[in-house]
Amino acid sequence: MDKIIFRNGWLADVERGQLVEAELMVADGQIAAIGPNLATSGARVIDLAGRVLSPGFIDLHVHLREPGFEYKETIRSGTRAAAAGGFTTIACMPNTNPVLDSPELISWVQAQARAAGAVKVLPIAAISLGQEGKLINDFAALKANGAVAFSDDGRGVNSSRLMLTALQVARDLGCPIMAHEEDAELAAGGSINFGPISEQLGDPGIPAAAEYTMLARDIYLAEMSGGHLHVCHVSTAESVRLIRAAKKRGVKVTAEVAPHHLALTEAVVPALLGQAKVNPPLRSETDRQELLAGVIDGTIDVIATDHAPHANHEKTVPLQQAAFGFSGLETAFAVTQQALVLSGLLTLGELLPALTCRPAALLGLPQGRLVVGAPADLIVLDPHARWQVTPESLLSQGKNTPWLGQELTGRVLLTMIDGQIIFEA
């Protein structure tokens, strides 16, 4: 296979959280050398022109919608959107139709993803049969066929007994339980955060407590079982505080936050209505500030998109009828950069670990770092490029983003997987 050398730019040393000036050579699908002045004989040279070469992003929370909801997204369109967003590995959620609760379906998703030929797809299997919250699935058989974690995402696990058993079984297999924390009774009927804006709009509201009361339970169950609790899309200040305290006393808990919860609050709801509806909902500025603090102090381990594509007719309807979720893969870098880097809270070098080596470590993956011998899953970032979010600019079938029509800063110019360029802007 051809050699490629990237030169004249910055390399993301994600383990140190720094950008360094160096060259990188790819050969045989792997990172073959890193250093100054690599010999270029026989190699194709790519001039980075001062841009950033980073390990490809890794997203632990993506809804690919296939099987069953191909009108929202397919494995093909979703993985292409991922490549355009700089993601080279994504984990996909099992709330499809049928639900990913059998070894055969886990294998089927992987075969479809390989056929699509875009990014690496790691399936997450459902905790319970049909995600009905009653009968636990056969985790060992699901893992044997490629499931990397277990989740009933889209809804909370109401039964404490089921959650405890799931944490115990997953612990023995070395897999995380990815928990969507939501008390269905506290959240019932709400479309947006409970507070002055929900009152103003006549919505019952989803209180912050719908998230953090179940999270508190699950932290104790993780502590009791020794299982690994991974908290999906943390949205409230109290959740951050609970996770911070649990980590301090040694509970095996990790957490993710979505770009939209870092960048937006409920204040955008009156203008955007259905296009601002997501679960968990956009919260208050106090919540947002604590989420930012949680990323900065490491309480929140990773940034994950919760890419939830929907068709236009499911979003451009009155708030109460609109579907929950945002198309997030292609705006993730720019939005996260806006919230954490352009705001002066972190450097770009300090942000990148949350999108690369930390999600890799969470699942024990070899990718996510620029080291010799690692798979050449690489992206070129232009942190300064400005672009407009339009339906045509997105490869995802889901055009449901609150940033539609807006200009964002930061773009992915090139995506490479195992040494092959699969996307160029």
Q: How far is CA 278 from CA 124, 149, 160, 325, in A?
A: 21, 23, 25, 4
* Interface pick for ligand DOR out of 88, 95, 305, 356 (rule CB under 6 A): 95
State the residue for tokens 């502590």: 223
Q: Provide φ and ψ at 260, rounded to 5°.
A: -65, -30
3-state DSSP assignment of residue 84: helix
Instruction: Provide the 10 A C-beta neighbour count for residue 94.
Output: 28
With contacts defined by CB under 5 A, name the span among 64-72, 123-131, 231-239, 408-416 that binds Zn ion: 231-239
- Number of residues binding to ligand DOR, judged by CB under 6 A: 10
Nearer to Zn ion, 76 or 310 (CB): 310
Instruction: Report yes or no: 92 and 123 within 8 Å, Cβ to Cβ.
Output: yes
CA gyration radius, the chain:
21
- Kindly state whether residue 61 participates in binding ligand DOR, applying the rule CB under 6 A: no
Q: Which does 378 bind (CB under 5 to 8 A by kind): Zn ion, ligand DOR, none?
A: none
Residues 267, 271, 273, 274: is their CA dihedral positive or negative? Answer: negative
- Number of residues binding to Zn ion, judged by CB under 5 A: 3
For ligand DOR, what does the binding mask look like between residues 110 and 149, x meaning CB under 6 A? ----------------------------------------
- Kindly state whether residue 278 participates in binding ligand DOR, applying the rule CB under 6 A: yes
* Interface pick for ligand DOR out of 25, 308, 351, 417 (rule CB under 6 A): 308
DSSP letter assigned to residue 276 = G
* Interface pick for Zn ion out of 59, 153, 203, 218 (rule CB under 5 A): 153
Rounded least distance, CB 178 to ligand DOR, Å: 11
State the residue for tokens 């919860």: 261
With contacts defined by CB under 5 A, name the span among 68-76, 140-148, 167-175, 232-240 that binds Zn ion: 232-240
Nearer to Zn ion, 232 or 322 (CB): 232
Q: Kindly name the residue from 153, 183, 203, 306 that is annotated as catalytic.
A: 306
Contacts of 33 (CB under 8 A, 6+ apart): 24, 25, 372
Contacts of 240-246 with CB under 8 Å at 24 or more apart are: 240/290, 240/291, 240/293, 240/294, 240/299, 240/300, 241/290, 242/212, 242/215, 242/216, 243/215, 243/219, 243/294, 243/299, 243/300, 244/294, 244/297, 244/299, 246/219, 246/222
Q: Which does 61 bind (CB under 5 to 8 A by kind): Zn ion, ligand DOR, none?
A: none
Whether 377 is catalytic is: no
Nearer to ligand DOR, 153 or 301 (CB): 153
Instruction: Report yes or no: 139 and 150 within 8 Å, Cβ to Cβ.
Output: yes
Rounded least distance, CB 108 to Zn ion, Å: 22
CA dist., res. 173 & res. 156, Å (int): 22
* Interface pick for Zn ion out of 180, 217, 315, 358 (rule CB under 5 A): 180
* Dihedral of the alpha carbons of 112, 102, 128, 116, in degrees to the nearest 10: 0
For ligand DOR, what does the binding mask look like between residues 356 and 395, x meaning CB under 6 A? ----------------------------------------
Nearer to Zn ion, 11 or 219 (CB): 219
What does the binding site for ligand DOR look like in residue numbers (CB under 6 A)?
63, 95, 153-154, 180, 278-279, 308, 324-325
| Catalytic residue positions, numbered | 306
